[in-house]
Structure 1
Amino acid sequence: MKFDAILIEPRRAAMVAAGHWRNKTADDYFDAALAAGPGDLALSSLSVATGERRDLTWAELDLLADRVAVGLRKLGVGRGDVVTCQLPNSWQFVVTYLGCSRLGAVFNPVMHIFREHELSFMLRHGESKVFVVPKLFRGFDHEAMAEGMRPDLPDLRHIIVAGGAGPNGFDTALLNPAFDAERATITRDSRLGPDDVCQLIYTSGTTGEPKGVMHTANTMYSNLAPFAERLGLSGRDVVLMFSPMAHQTGFMYGLLLPLMLRARFIVMDNWDKAQAARVIETDRVSFTMASTPFLMDLSTAVEEGGTDPSSLRVFLCAGTAIPGPVVERAQRILGAKVISAWGMTENGAVTLVLPTDPDERSVNSDGVPLPGIELQIRGKDGQPLPAGEEGELYVRGCSNFGGYLKRPHLNNVDDDGWFDTGDIARMDAAGYIRICGRSKDIIIRGAENIPVIEVESILFKHPAVQAVAIVGYPDERLGERACAFVVPKPGQALTFAAMQDFLRSHHLAIQYWPERLEIRETLPATASGKIQKFALRKMLRDEAGL
């Protein structure tokens, strides 16, 4: 696979000279952790449904990662090939990534909620050679889905199934103890360099199809180093991650961050607030990161269950604004510092509130940029705006991505290196920003981006639909939910259940389905016929009394 990460080379010399790009990879950090304490506990993997737990030392992770690397090589995977992984948070996810890294393969994590509609595009666009899936997760048969997609994926050579039997089972294909005899053949020569694309991760955009974000070790670790420094994180911390590691939040801050810190990390394959509260108590968790609904749930679990959360120093919230009462309640029940942040798949966490800031900062702002990152708020004329005025948010700096795979025309980076985030924000005199809205047509539901155009395009195919517009409306727990406004064709009707059945038949991830349906005779539109979504949003807000 040839990766067109054209945004790396123009800034490489400046980033290295400034000390932001330290030319270290995940392999380098893992080697250091292994050398410092091979018998130290590194990873704990928890299955919520079964209650199973597996603890692995750095030496045990090292062995399993080598086996995966040998196994992938036997499957024909080489340097620069893409391996797609749909596993939930688990030790299998971690060792698959580590094996890919040692082999020089590019890791492509995809959300377990994705179905044929999303995955067929991603695997074909990314030319994935191997697709790693769970046999069953949350009652869904991922193996059957993957096998059904195979005829439409010409580059896909192997489907590997965690929990599956036969030669394609994860344990047989990737963890065969017989592979240990070939561990010495997995050498440093096969590893990717710090400026090579090592991660391909898809994000929803306004083009109607996902975009493949390309990252290198330098772009990601140039974010993680100042992130850890700002929060005072070190190898003494215990990191808990229940946000999916197929999201950049889970991947960077639940996997790459503890590797860099040489810190112990714990992953949960599903969200269970009571179990999370117990793990924080028993394992003395000190840091976690998730969206606002998780913070609300965890506070409730501790209050109801009486567990001890005193080890938790920092709960970093990103994805949606944090209501003041939520922060106050969390501070009172958990005792942890609640830190608000803002970022994107394309550049990781960009802004964070300082731990020394008053709690109100996490309610009223999304923080100040990390070192190595610059922000601009621009007006419609493209010129920077003064403090306090809302405008388009631009980002420039060390952690910006390498570009969108095979779509350089969508990179949204100008000649001076400024990336157009598509968000509307304002900045105060002290440099703190507040995200005010989005110029791009995306709804964020519980930190999950809903690709509006993609969902609308499916609903337009329904024989009863003449016009459709999907907009977000406020939700106390998830930040936003999606509402579909539909104008039926003359003599036709559409029910909520019929809409759901239609989306199900198109194999769209259930998290993308609108949770509300409004039938209208007409939709507000401009003279040119463009639907005025702001008017629809206002309608929903007015109905809710907001």
Structure 2
Amino acid sequence: MKENLTSVEPSADRIARFREAGIWRNRTIADDIREIASASPDKVLWVEGDTRLTAGAALKQAEALASNLHDMGLRAGDVVSFQLPNWTETVVLDIACVLLGLVVNPVVPIYRNAELALILADCEAKALFIPEKFRSIDYAGMVADLRPDLPALEHVVVVRGTPRDGMLSFDALLEPAGNDVAWPEQRPEAAKMILYTSGTTGRPKGVLHSHETVARALLACFDHWGLAPDDWTLMPSPVTHVTGFSYGIEWPLTQRTRTVFMDQWDADRAVGIIDTYGVASTIGATPFLAELVGAAERAGSRLPSLRIFGCGGAAVPPGLIRKANKTFANTCAFRVYGSTEVPVVTLGYMGDRNAELASDTDGEVVDYEVKLVDDAGHSVSEGEGEVLARGPAQFLGYLRPEDREGAFSADGYFLTGDIGRRVDHAGLLITGRKKDLIIRGGENLSAKEIEDAMHQHDAVTEAAVVSMPHDRLGETVCAYVIPAGDARPDVPAFAAFLGELGLARQKCPERVEYVDDLPRTASGKVRKDILRKRISQQVAGPGS
């Protein structure tokens, strides 16, 4: 059983210190939406295709939804999961959950049976919001198959589709329940969101954020990037990631910006959106920036309104930042660094005079304390070390107590597992990572999870999964396999096998290398650093 969510919160001293300094707001987005709706009910804050969602409509729909969720038995501290695209309904759902003191759990849409079942069981979600179908995936069918093994899941709500047996309609829940709800007292320091991130153990970890930590990250970015209320943000990153959720759903509430959602990335369409709305900012992984540069060139547009493109989540080639800043009218592209646990540790170097730092470093540390340590935990003044970070936007902790063991230093720094060095005093350059993760297009994939699945194949004696450089996605999956016999399954064969086990297709190896043995340490541990170097050289070709 997971620990009670109410027990995971900052110390009283930390709360008092940040509140007294004005660093934490002591309010939630429920306060924000009521204030905005009272002053400007017809103000459009979110756009998705032809849909326009105003502040007044968002509050009205959220209150109706919250009243129905209350009638369904949901109470403060209960978990509500959603696996939805970048639709405006996610805004209404988020606000409704805050009104009731519920904890929201966004789940990325690429996850299939195995991952979804694990997450829903781990956080003991009481309700789940899904599309009936999106793209080629039958979400309603998938959840119907999983539901008998999820006793805590009492309600499944279908958005933009026809509910299956035992499921509810989102539209029907927007009709007021007819009963007055005594909205619970808001506790901004309490857990408001669980986001799952893949760990080196293969089991995803539930990352807990509060109202205060999410809002602080947004304020730091807003101020550092020089944005203003009413500035438009284009949000193609999934709202089920910390980036899309924070900047797409909640930035309009905490900072009064406005969002254009894209539920499916299309770089050519993005150029039109940016020019039509005068979009000032966007945040996304490497593929978004690379394809936007190409689309802008094809369209003959220099995107003159775009002042901010924060690029991170995967390896960002310096040359891409340089090209973007030559292609666009403004020197707007820069690298940023952070994680679900510690969002936006660096916020990027901005402007013409910082163009070189923007491309050659991972940005300027803002609003965090950062130190580098060696393997013994001693501070490193020069050279490389593991990056440790702490600050007011830092997560509360992991859902499970056992995951918190070894995650923090004695003085409260989060051990990121990334290796880096300081540049230009406040700058940071990430040079590698201790964690055994593959960051494919901004999505964290656990190597161990893939290995565990591959080991179930009769043709595999041992598999070692590592990251492989990829021009568009930054990294993708390569598997080194010691075969069990003469059979040598190819990439499509492994994809089919892993798909049958319920893994997302993004986790399937895009290259399989058969070997007689694997490089190992004296204790027998596989030297993945050697394998990563080997595949990098193979991908680069002769002379690399």
TM surpasses 0.5: yes
SS at match of 1:296: helix
The equivalences for 1:282-361 within 5 A come to 282-307=276-301, 309-336=303-330, 337-356=332-351, 357-361=353-357
CA contact (8 A) 1:71 1:173 kept: no
Q: Distance in 2 between matches of 1:422 and 1:435?
A: 11
Alpha carbons 2:197, 2:207 under 8 Å: kept: yes
Q: Is the 8 A contact 1:230 1:354 kept in 2?
A: no
Partner of 2:33: 30
Residue range with higher mean Cα deviation, 325-334 or 279-288: 325-334
Q: Cα 1:191–1:270, aligned 2, differ >3 Å: closer, same or farther?
A: farther
The change in CA–CA distance for 1:140 and 1:64 in structure 2 (over 3 A counts) is same
SS in structure 2 opposite 1:348?
Answer: coil
Superposed counterparts of 1:30-429, under 5 Å = 30-46=33-49, 53-165=50-162, 168-176=167-175, 178-179=176-177, 181-182=178-179, 185-187=180-182, 189-190=183-184, 192-307=186-301, 309-336=303-330, 337-356=332-351, 357-371=353-367, 373-387=368-382, 389-411=383-405, 412-429=407-424
Task: Flag the 1:192–1:123 CA change in 2: closer, same or farther, 3 A.
Answer: farther
With structure 2 as the length reference, what TM-score do the two structures score? 0.94
SS at match of 1:245: coil
Q: Secondary structure of 1:42's match?
A: strand
Distance 1:491 1:325, change over 3 A: closer
Q: Identify the residue that residue 440 of structure 2 maps to in structure 1.
A: 445
Any idea what the Cα deviations from partners look like across 1:265-319, whole Å, max 9, x if unmatched?
Answer: 1111111111111111111111110011101111111211234621111111111
Are the equivalent residues in 2 in contact too, given 1:133–1:143 (CA < 8 A)? yes
List 4+ stretches of structure 1 deviating above 6 A. Answer: none
Q: Relative to 1, partners in 2 of residues 1:10 and 1:438: Cα closer, same or farther, differing over 3 Å?
A: farther
Q: Distance in 1 between matches of 2:466 and 2:68?
A: 46
Confirm whether residue 536 of structure 1 aligns to residue 531 of structure 2. yes
Residue 254 of structure 1 aligns with an amino acid whose one-letter code is G
- Which amino acid in the other structure matches residue 346 of structure 2? T
* Cα distance in structure 1, aligned partners of 2:522 and 2:489: 27
Structure 1 residue runs of 5 or longer lacking an equivalent are 47-52
Task: Give the direction of change, closer, same or farther, for the CA distance of 1:142–1:440 in structure 2 (3 Å limit).
Answer: same
Deviation at 1:8, TM superposition (A): 4.8
What residue identity is the alignment partner of 2:506? Q
Q: 1:20 is matched by which residue type in structure 2?
A: I
CA distance in 2, matches of 1:77, 1:8: 27
In 2, distance between residues paired with 1:201 and 1:164?
25
Match of 2:454 among 451, 459, 467: 459
Sequence identity of aligned pairs in percent?
36
Aligned to 1:21: 24
TM-score (normalised: structure 1): 0.94
> Which segments of 5 or more consecutive residues in structure 2 lack a partner in the other structure?
none
How many residues are treated as equivalent by the alignment? Answer: 533
* Paired residue type of 1:225: L
CA distance in 2, matches of 1:99, 1:75: 13
Q: How big is each residue's C-alpha offset from its partner over 1:33-70, in whole Å with a ceiling of 9 and x where there is no partner?
A: 22331111111113xxxxxx201211111111112112
Q: Matched residues in 1 for 2:24 and 2:537: separation? A: 48
CA RMSD of aligned residues (A): 1.8
Instruction: Give the Å deviation of 1:510.
Output: 1.1
Supply the distance in 2 between the matched residues of 1:246 and 1:162 (Cα, whole angstroms). Answer: 15
| CA–CA distance in structure 2, aligned partners of residues 241 and 429 of structure 1 | 31
**Post-superposition offset of 1:500:** 0.8
**Bigger shift: 5-14 or 345-354?**
5-14
- What is the SS of the residue equivalent to 1:456? helix
Following the alignment from structure 1 to structure 2, what is the Cα–Cα distance between the partners of residues 308 and 75?
51
Q: Is the contact made by 1:488 and 1:494 (CA closer than 8 Å) also made in structure 2?
A: no
C-alpha displacement at 1:12, in angstroms? Answer: 2.1
Maintained 8 Å contact 1:281/1:308: no
Matched residue of 1:199: which SS? Answer: strand
1:49 match: none
Asked if the contact 2:81/2:125 (under 8 Å) is kept, the reply is yes
What is the SS of the residue equivalent to 1:125?
Answer: helix
CA contact (8 A) 1:103 1:186 kept: no
Could you give the per-residue CA deviations for residues 360-393 of structure 1, whole angstroms, max 9, x where no partner exists? 112111112222x100000122111113x11111
Amino acid at match of 1:293: P
Q: How does 1:487-498 map to 2 (within 5 A)?
A: 487-498=482-493
